[in-house]
Amino acid sequence: MSATLEHGAAAVTIGGVPYEAVMGIECHVELKTDTKMFCGCRNVFGAEPNTNVCPVCLGMPGALPVPNRAAIELLVKAGLAFGSEIPAFSKFDRKNYFYPDMPKDYQISQFDMPLTQGGVVTFRLPDGSKGSCRLTRIHLEEDTGKSSHAGSRDGRIAGSTHSLVDFNRAGVPLMECVSDPDIRSAPAAVAYLEALKRTFVALGVSDVKMEEGSLRCDVNLSLRPLGAAEYGTKTEIKNMNSFNSVRRAIESEIARQAEILEGGGRVVQETRGWNEAEGTTHAMRSKEQAHDYRYFPDPDLTPIEFAPSDVARLRAEMIALPQPRIDRYVDTEHLSIVQAQQIVDTPGLADFYDATRALGAVPQTTVNFVLGDLARLANETGISVADSPVTPAALAELVALVEAKTINSKTAKDLVARLWSEGGSPAKLVADEGLGQVSDTGAIDALVAEIVAANAKTVDDYRAGKTKVLGFLVGQVMKQSRGKANPTLAEERLRAALDGDSPAA
Ligand SMILES: [Zn+2]
């Protein structure tokens, strides 16, 4: 495996030696199903505590689990999106450990035969460059309940007077995505997580709301001299509640480990919690000994067998995936990475953009309208661009009018607002109402002469060296033309008139 491992740039220099950070990420993602993983209880966030529970998810003796087919299919789709292998045979295992919010005292999970194996997540770094991270596996398990600790100031168990348990989350289908240790920097970790999120949202696999806990991630991090084959001792960082805290936690942990190594110390293998307020990680528990979860196949659940036709059906249901789309926008449409991600991340915009482009509209002007005026109007009115009266055909016409310089940018802006409320054809509006840009030098010179005559004082100021009044005079010419003058030509003719080499002077 180390043969295919890529080395990144140095994260830190320790004792004059460049070191790189090596990270793997484990992500827990709650699946967006109607019901829980092994019972018919509703899977919703924010219900009254302990209202969505039954003997199965409360772990009552004798209650038997029934797997949720929808959850299995969602997970397989997630795997297919990243090119994972879907083994024909997989099974559920019991992972045995005690946790106060896990009523059965074991968690149904998958040990050696997960639903998917392998795969690659590709992403773009903020500078537009490409990155990738291999997946080890994606497996399916059930979530635990949730404990709240009361009586302590910060809600932590230390100093609390009593604890409460809500089992609404117990048994919610949870997908765990385990990555290979391919991540080399904090921005790459965030880009990887954003790529997962974008894909899961597009596929309808999950809401991926970190603030509601439907995506939780742990980062394993170690440092090693750049180019070394051996891994350093890793720590696991937990409790990040936003992508920004993931970035900050990684940067803080790299600095902490570097300081230990710099001082000749040894990094201890342990789990560390991220403290958002202090911006530091703290030791939670030692991981020196591997846990013995005594996994064994769950005798209440039959193994899952996938026929090739099942996989083919799920593959056929896959929609256009966001990450390849972003790559296409950047590589062949030459949009910026920010533009590409914005259209892909706003529901319906990418389809609208593609439909407009299919009619021959040029990419950059199209994306400027889509992300500019149209996205703003969608925000202001609460109507999506796709549901608005503006059609891709109308936008393609508008783009063509701008590109041909038939209308100026001011008229184009006004037209977008009119199309948004009334629909219609911009070419027809321009023809019917004579909105075409005035680029006729004679007509512009006539307007310039009027403005020069009406603004004697300002003209004197300009000629006396206060050239910044030019903008005001250009504005007056534009206004006189009712917004239709070609602004570049207006400025050029005005400047000529004021500088004295035009008949208008
Ligand atoms: Zn239940």
Per-residue pLDDT of the chain (505 residues; tens, 9 = 90+): 333 445 667 789 999 999 999 999 999 999 999 999 999 999 999 999 999 999 999 999 999 999 999 999 999 999 999 999 999 999 999 999 888 899 899 999 999 999 999 999 999 998 889 999 999 999 999 999 999 998 887 778 888 999 999 999 999 999 999 999 999 999 999 999 999 999 999 999 998 988 888 899 999 999 999 999 999 999 999 989 899 999 999 999 999 999 999 999 999 999 999 999 999 999 987 765 567 899 999 999 999 998 899 999 999 998 889 999 999 999 999 999 999 999 999 888 999 999 999 999 999 999 999 999 999 999 999 999 999 999 999 999 999 999 988 898 888 999 999 999 999 999 999 888 888 778 888 888 988 999 999 999 999 999 998 988 999 999 998 888 888 888 888 888 999 888 875 444 4
**Ligand 1 centroid distance, CA of 69 (Å):** 15
Phi then psi for 399, rounded to 5 degrees? -60, -40
Structure tokens at 254: 């790299």
Per DSSP, the three-state class of 397 is helix
**Ligand 1 centroid distance, CA of 79 (Å):** 27
**Ligand 1 centroid distance, CA of 37 (Å):** 9
**Ligand 1 centroid distance, CA of 40 (Å):** 6
**What is the amino acid identity at position 330?**
V
Q: How far apart are the C-alpha atoms of 12 and 306, rounded to whole Å?
A: 47
**Ligand 1 centroid distance, CA of 71 (Å):** 15
**Ligand 1 centroid distance, CA of 205 (Å):** 21
Q: How far apart are the C-alpha atoms of 37 and 72, rounded to whole Å?
A: 9
* Alpha carbon 342 to chain centroid, angstroms: 9
Q: How far apart are the C-alpha atoms of 398 and 402, rounded to whole Å?
A: 6
**Ligand 1 centroid distance, CA of 168 (Å):** 8
Phi then psi for 257, rounded to 5 degrees? -65, -40
**Ligand 1 centroid distance, CA of 64 (Å):** 11
**Ligand 1 centroid distance, CA of 145 (Å):** 12
Nearest to 268 by CA among 245, 284, 291: 284
* Alpha carbon 382 to chain centroid, angstroms: 21
**Ligand 1 centroid distance, CA of 171 (Å):** 7
**Ligand 1 centroid distance, CA of 157 (Å):** 27
Per DSSP, the three-state class of 398 is helix
For position 3, what pLDDT does the model report?
36
**Ligand 1 centroid distance, CA of 418 (Å):** 53
**Ligand 1 centroid distance, CA of 59 (Å):** 9
**Ligand 1 centroid distance, CA of 35 (Å):** 8
**Ligand 1 centroid distance, CA of 292 (Å):** 28
**What is the amino acid identity at position 315?**
R
DSSP β-ladder status, 17-30 and 215-225:
antiparallel
Q: How far apart are the C-alpha atoms of 482 and 493, rounded to whole Å?
A: 17
**Ligand 1 centroid distance, CA of 203 (Å):** 26
Residue 390 parent element (H or E)? none
* 318 dihedral zone (left: phi>0; alpha: psi -120 to 50; beta): beta
**Ligand 1 centroid distance, CA of 5 (Å):** 43
**Ligand 1 centroid distance, CA of 313 (Å):** 29
Beta bridge partners of 14: 17
**Ligand 1 centroid distance, CA of 109 (Å):** 17
